[in-house]
Amino acid sequence: MTIKECKEHRRLPENGTKVRISEQITPIDDCGGFLVHQRHLIARKPGAVGEYIGWVPGAGGDLWWIKHDDDSIGAYSFTEVNDLES
């Protein structure tokens, strides 16, 4: 299932699904509601390529863990994550 299909059907992607992060993401200063360690906010990268590795507990499935190609892990709103090829 593609990321687009996951969003349409309110499902989570399979672990390992390759993704691209939106060019426009929420600024770190506005991510106070993301209850994650600061390192996962600092790791957020607009336009980055990576893979979905799970969802952030306590966020109702709206925040996803993305492991970037450089092995850093960022927390992203599902709205900031797209299919690698779109």
Tell me the whole-structure pTM to 2 decimals. 0.90
41 in any annotated domain? yes
32 in any annotated domain? yes
Res 86 pLDDT > 80: no
38 in any annotated domain? yes
Mean pLDDT of 10-30: 93
Which structural domain range is residue 7 located in? 3-50+60-83
Name the average pLDDT for the chain: 91
21 in any annotated domain? yes
Please tell me the distance from the alpha carbon of residue 29 to that of residue 49, in angstroms, as a whole number: 23
Please tell me the distance from the alpha carbon of residue 19 to that of residue 82, in angstroms, as a whole number: 6
55 in any annotated domain? no
Predicted local confidence at residue 35, as pLDDT: 83
pLDDT confidence of 48, banded at 50, 70, 90? very high
78 in any annotated domain? yes
